[in-house]
Amino acid sequence: ISMSILVLGGAGYIGSHTVDRLVENKTEVIVVDSLVTGHRAAVSKDAKFYQGDIADQDFMRKVFAENPTIDAVIHFAAFSLVAESMKKPLKYFDNNTTGMVKLLEVMNEVGVKKIVFSSTAATYGIPETMPIKETDLQKPINPYGESKLAMEKIMHWTDLANGIKFVALRYFNVAGAKPDGSIGEDHNPETHLLPIVLQVAAGQREKLQIFGDDYNTPDGTNVRDYVHPFDLADAHILAVNYLREGNDSAAFNLGSSTGFSNMEILKAAREVTGKKIPAQIAPRRGGDPDTLIAASDKARKILGWKPQFDDIHKIIETAWKWHETHPNGYDDKK
């Protein structure tokens, strides 16, 4: 029997890379995206596309009814800006957390019992030890992380009661684009370090502001663990296979287990682009832990995950290629 995968939020940054990899693997893919933050042009032409909100249960019932071969859901459909979540917590709990409740209700109704979920290092808050293990305390310091932790917990109890099995993938810092430059990162507004660094390199912004150089790290700037969306995509596919093999619900960190400071990212970007990239130290942004590095041996061991992009220069090269060919991203938002 043929099986297909429903990808929610498949027009977003990581979702679109996952759809692309699934299609390359000849998997049948159905995409749902509201296009509030996603981009229609990011979705592979070989995937079936529905525009709509996952919290709209009649719409979701229709998607499942029209695609009876769906046996697993990959769920990327959420808001993800920490700073915005601090100002508008209810927007995050409504869209992300309530969205999960509505989704699981419909999955239960239609009998689809597998879900792979985009979780985040933000569920850990300020870690006590480094690198961060999956069993470490989860104590978010912003509503974004809290909304995602609540989603993990909702899945846990729904597994116990209804047998919906889940894999929560806790991403660290995602950066890079498809090496051919055809899909990449496009947020509006852009708040992430690497795309902003490249906008400065391209002359679209005057200078980079480095938020804080008095952190408890070797050079005083925050240290983060960068992972490429191509590798994240593969982890999602492995996670679906893991659930299809009948394994139990689980959570996995996804990172490279290597940390780069904000200054090191700037230096590497100067090397890759050959541009000067003016930068200045600015006040702390608030809500940034000193260091976030993943212990990701669990994903390697249990899922068989083998990240290909283990070199920050290579990651930046792919992002730069995307940026040079798409200086205004998908250019689809007014």
For residue 151, the minimal CB distance to ligand UDP (Å) is: 17
Length of the chain: 334
Q: At 154, is the secondary structure helix, strand, or coil?
A: helix
Amino acid at the residue 202 = A
Least CB distance from residue 316 to ligand UDP, whole Å?
13
Binding mask 72-91 for ligand UDP (x = CB under 6 A): ----------x---------
Nearer to ligand UDP, 52 or 287 (CB): 287
Cβ-count burial 144-174 (b if 16+ within 10 Å, e if not):
bbbbbbbbbebbeebbeeeebbbbbbbbbbb
Residue among 21, 39, 75, 224 that touches ligand UDP (CB under 6 A) = 224
What is the C-alpha to C-alpha distance for residues 130 and 137, in angstroms, rounded to an integer? 12
Compare residues 21 and 224 and give the one whose CB is closer to ligand UDP: 224
What 3-state class would DSSP assign to 287? coil
Minimum distance, C-beta of residue 291 to ligand UDP, in the bound complex (Å):
10
By CB atoms closer than 10 A (0-12, 13-18, 19+), residue 135 is exposed
Q: Which is nearer to ligand UDP, 171 or 305 (CB)?
A: 171
Active-site hit among 13, 50, 124, 144: 144
Beta pairing partners, 115? 73, 166
One symbol per residue from 282 to 301: x for binding ligand UDP (CB under 6 A), - otherwise; what is it?
---x--x-------------
From residue 239 to residue 278, the character string flagging contacts with ligand UDP as x (rule: CB under 6 A) and all else as - is: -----------------------x----------------
Residue 118, interface with ligand UDP (CB under 6 A)? no
**Shortest Å, Cβ 190 to ligand UDP:** 9
Question: Where would I find the H helices in the chain?
Answer: 13-24, 57-66, 82-87, 89-92, 99-110, 143-162, 193-201, 229-244, 262-273, 297-298, 312-325
Q: How far apart are CA 151 and CA 168, in angstroms?
A: 9
**Nearest CA among 93, 114, 100, 147 for reference residue 250:** 114
Distance in Å, CB of 222 to ligand UDP, minimum: 3
Residues 153-212 that bind ligand UDP (CB under 6 A): 173, 191-193, 196, 209-211
Count of residues near ligand UDP by CB under 6 A: 14
Give the SS3 label for residue 21. Answer: helix
User: By C-beta, is 118 or 158 nearer to ligand UDP?
Assistant: 118
Q: Is 50 a catalytic residue?
A: no
Rounded distance between C-alpha atoms, residue 96 and residue 79, angstroms: 7
Whichever of 4 and 85 has its CB closer to ligand UDP, that residue is 85
Residue (126 or 302) nearer to ligand UDP, CB:
126
Q: Catalytic residues, which ones?
A: 144
Q: Which residues bind ligand UDP (CB under 6 A)?
A: 82, 173, 191-193, 196, 209-211, 222, 224, 262, 285, 288
